[in-house]
Chains A and B, each alone.
Chain A
Amino acid sequence: TQLLEQSPQFLSIQEGENLTVYCNSSSVFSSLQWYRQEPGEGPVLLVTVVTGGEVKKLKRLTFQFGDARKDSSLHITAAQPGDTGLYLCAGVGQNFVFGPGTRLSVLP
């Protein structure tokens, strides 16, 4: 069974701070996706990473896929209150496997 772990589980920071959240597994995935979910809504896809070592940037968000395609990180620079939400990673293997998420709160 493929499993994904995410850390930290909860994160509360002040506006303007930087942060990194992690997504780890013992399994290899063909690709990995990051989503953000806000209360009462479904997850929204942020990025897909496919190649080991790949780095993708989306404005203030930087995503990295581990060389062995077992882990990934999301770094947010100068966080803003609009970044608040549940950040989910999902691995594409036998099925889509979601991690439990990191709940981020950015305080003004």
Chain B
Amino acid sequence: DAGVTQSPTHLIKTRGQQVTLRCSPKSGHDTVSWYQQALGQGPQFIFQYYEEEERQRGNFPDRFSGHQFPNYSSELNVNALLLGDSALYLCASSFSPRQPQHFGDGTRLSIL
């Protein structure tokens, strides 16, 4: 039973570029949440997708957008990358929006 899988594992971009990160949820899960974890800090909630719609959003600018597909997988898109966007981006899935979450191992994004 595969857990939450994220791709790529590492990514290097330059300022101003755009990036797309991908997440496949744990089998049977229909809800996907995205988090940003800066070095030495706890994860910060970006948004949550359920039934292909953004249901909740944290305090992140519109440069951060997402999508959920009919198979429940999800993408996180970040436009106009800034140096401060360098972080570990975590995807988490759950059976429903308020249930305990299972996390992937993240995508380490570095902005040069």
Contacts and interface: CB of A to CB of B under 8 A. Distances in A.
Interface in B48-101: 48, 56, 58-59, 90, 92, 98, 100-101
Contact of B100 (A40, A48, A99): A48
Interface in A90-108: 92, 94-101
Which range contains the number of B residues in contact with the other chain?
Answer: 20 to 34
Interface residues of A, number: 23
A41 B105 contact: yes
A101 B43 CA distance: 9
A28 to B, nearest CB: 15
Contact of B44 (A42, A45, A92, A98): A98
A107 B104 CA distance: 28
Contacts of B103: 35, 42-44
Given A40-B105, A41-B105, A96 B33 contact: yes
A95 B58 contact: yes
B106 interface: yes
Contacts of B105: 40-42
B32 interface: no
Given A43-B90, A45-B100, A95-B58, A88 B42 contact: yes
Interface of B: 4, 33, 35, 41-45, 48, 56, 58-59, 90, 92, 98, 100-106
Minimum-distance CB pairs A-B, first 7: A42-B103, A98-B42, A100-B42, A98-B43, A42-B105, A95-B45, A101-B42
Interface of A: 1, 4, 6, 30, 33, 35, 40-45, 48, 88, 92, 94-101
